[in-house]
Structure 1
């Protein structure tokens, strides 16, 4: 895998601007009543990728890679012209290969049929022939331009932070090698300075790193992975961790200072030579503001990315999925995140079946997977109708893959 993000295809071709995103969704916007519905579809599909990845036993990094592949594919395609669920299966299949944890294609087809036949997705005729998935893989890799190396914010997060635990796999799902890699965009000669004048790594507790990790997981339910480099997302996640919880190590530092004072009272007085060296032995408390200010990144850009994450959480509050787990428990499909609960200030997240909606909200304020499945079907039917009966009166081919084949001769 390439170690230099700045020279990679990810940085050169797959970090896009908002105009590109708007153009990519222009076709779908013609078939929805509310533009926010496309953002809800992004959450809906991201949850589907996460659930299928869990059923296939993929690591979080592979699931994140599949999510990035899915979003890159739909920079060049529209939901109404393709089968997103077949694309999801192909993304998971290709991502497993790219992350060196391949899965047999028949297993992917079997698990996809089982998952997508549920009422949440209402896919009645997912292809049982594995050659259909193999064909979709061909078109997916073509639209990705064979750029299968993806950089993720996880590596930057672990590079920026000094962890109080050594068993990273127990916390973050066996992300082997993530903690040992050099930070994204760093050279091996840059030492421990991490992009700026900050000295060393940021000291965070186990819980704080978990919160930042969950925030990064949540960002794959939006287009942030297309708009920002991974190190910007990682720093924004750290920033939100401090905003939600304050200085995660301040409480432990205060306790340590109190213990140190008590020990100093119990210890006998030292000699003048020992007293002269005492200030050097005292560890200076770390200031997170100085750490962020010392990074060679645009702080307004970090603030913008953080605001978009908060906006994602606000939108996510309106997404109601049946069987939401209890507070603090992350569902296998990732429909509710602990970071989301903290950011929105909600102890319950989206309501469970049988619970009351949030105060002042009617039932129609929530968007459900059932509604989105029906919306997707209406979009595809309307698009097919327009393609079969265009305004000019000349019928066109409905099958987009057939169009490509004819264009290629």
Structure 2
């Protein structure tokens, strides 16, 4: 196992440019064009929201560390880089990803226990024979070339919390933690290093706080270890207007992150939005915001990539508002039963 991210298999083998991922997916579609057209599935992000909920559903009666959910979702991202979603029993794969992640994250469960719980939750989709989960585990490990260690943004967020100049509050920390959780529904775990995701989440949390009242978000202050070990996977997704609120907060923060990392102020918030006005006033008078700007410049963060990550997060929240569990479940069911993947 690598002692740090920079020498890890994740950095060497599982970090892609967006166009590379697009090429891989296009190739999969070409190889499986018939089944893809016969069983169309919703947007990939909606499917990952669905799978995240299934992991949490499965783990309700199993003790686990929150990081197991994140690791399982990364495993699913990696698997679907080389496999069509239409060709696998998503319920069985999701249970397998959680089982494997629980071992990787040192909170293991016996295969019979996980198989039994999955069978109880989804009896029509999960075979009673635990060996089927073992077979799927072998396939999952094989697709990832036995490279199972995942470096998450949580560790980088911990380091940011300890930076006295940034002076992150518990509220900002909790919001950043939730934003990081939500990034696992996007391609960011495959396209961005974990530290950049953490910095982006921290930045969004800081500018979001002044305008958050309209959504009545009141995160409970928590210790970092409590958040990591709690059997919850906090999220901002699914709240009405969340993407608009964050977008306005970004606009009203009076920041324009240029390629050189310099933050410039606008003269006034456009549109007269109260959220923009609040955020502009906070940014203009905030020593913290200036310290964040200085931090971005001194740390040589790839600001262009950070902007892309921010846009991807906002796009996720936009589509999340359209999420309908029944619609996604029906599409998955048609695919599984149509190809007899449940047997």
Structures share a fold, TM > 0.5? yes
Deviations 1:263-291 (A, max 9, x none): xxxxxxxxxxxxxxxxxxxxx95432222
Distance 1:306 1:377, change over 3 A: same
Question: Cα RMSD (Å) of the superposition?
Answer: 2.6
Q: Give CA-to-partner distance per residue, 1:79-105, whole Å, 9 cap, x none.
A: 111111111111111111111111011
Distance 1:3 1:160, change over 3 A: farther
Structure 1: segments with no counterpart, 5+ residues: 118-123, 163-191, 193-199, 249-283, 320-367, 385-397, 400-409
Displacement of 1:380: 5.0
> Quick one: which of 91, 96, 107 aligns to 2:102?
96
Residue equivalent to 1:169 = none
Deviation at 1:59, TM superposition (A): 0.9
Tell me how far apart the structure 1 counterparts of residues 40 and 112 of structure 2 sit (CA, whole Å).
Answer: 38
Q: Would you say 1:152 and 2:152 are equivalent positions? A: yes
Task: Look up the SS of the partner of 1:202 in the other structure.
Answer: coil
Q: Highest CA radius of gyration, 1 or 2?
A: 1
Task: Name the CA distance, whole Å, in 2 between partners of 1:291 and 1:68.
Answer: 29
Distance in 1 of aligned mates of 2:68 and 2:337: 33
Q: Secondary structure at the match of 1:31?
A: helix
CA contact (8 A) 1:58 1:101 kept: yes
Change (3 A) 1:225 1:285: same
TM-score (norm. length: structure 2): 0.69
Cα deviation 1:325-375 (Å, max 9, x = unaligned): xxxxxxxxxxxxxxxxxxxxxxxxxxxxxxxxxxxxxxxxxxx22221221
1:108–1:24: structure 2 CA closer, same or farther, 3 Å change rule?
farther
State how many pairs are aligned: 260
In the alignment, which residue of structure 2 is the partner of 1:115? 121
Please report the TM-score for the alignment, with normalisation by the length of structure 1.
Answer: 0.59
The residue aligned with 1:269 is: none
Q: Could you give the per-residue CA deviations for residues 54-80 of structure 1, whole angstroms, max 9, x where no partner exists?
A: 432211111111111111111111111
| Aligned residue number for residue 203 of structure 2 | 239
Q: How has the CA–CA distance of structure 1 residues 33 and 132 changed in structure 2, closer, same or farther, with 3 Å as cutoff? A: closer
DSSP 3-state at the match of 2:167:
strand
Which residues of structure 2 form unaligned runs of 5+?
A: 213-285
Structure 1 residues 296 and 102: alpha-carbon distance in aligned structure 2, compared to 1, 3 A threshold: same
Q: Is the 8 A contact 1:79 1:380 kept in 2?
A: no
Change (3 A) 1:201 1:97: farther
Structure with greater helix share of residues: 2
Instruction: List per-residue Cα deviations over 1:4-42 (Å, max 9, x = no partner).
Output: 211110011111222333344442774379885333212
Q: Does 1:375 align with 2:331?
A: yes
> Counterpart of 2:147 in 1: which secondary structure?
coil
Change (3 A) 1:376 1:35: closer
For residues 43 and 93 of structure 2, the distance between their equivalents in structure 1, rounded to whole angstroms, comes to 19
CA contact (8 A) 1:24 1:78 kept: no
User: Where does 1:10-409 land on structure 2 (aligned, <5 Å)?
Assistant: 10-26=10-26, 27=29, 30-31=36-37, 37-117=43-123, 124-162=124-162, 201-246=165-210, 286=288, 287-319=291-323, 368-379=324-335, 384=339
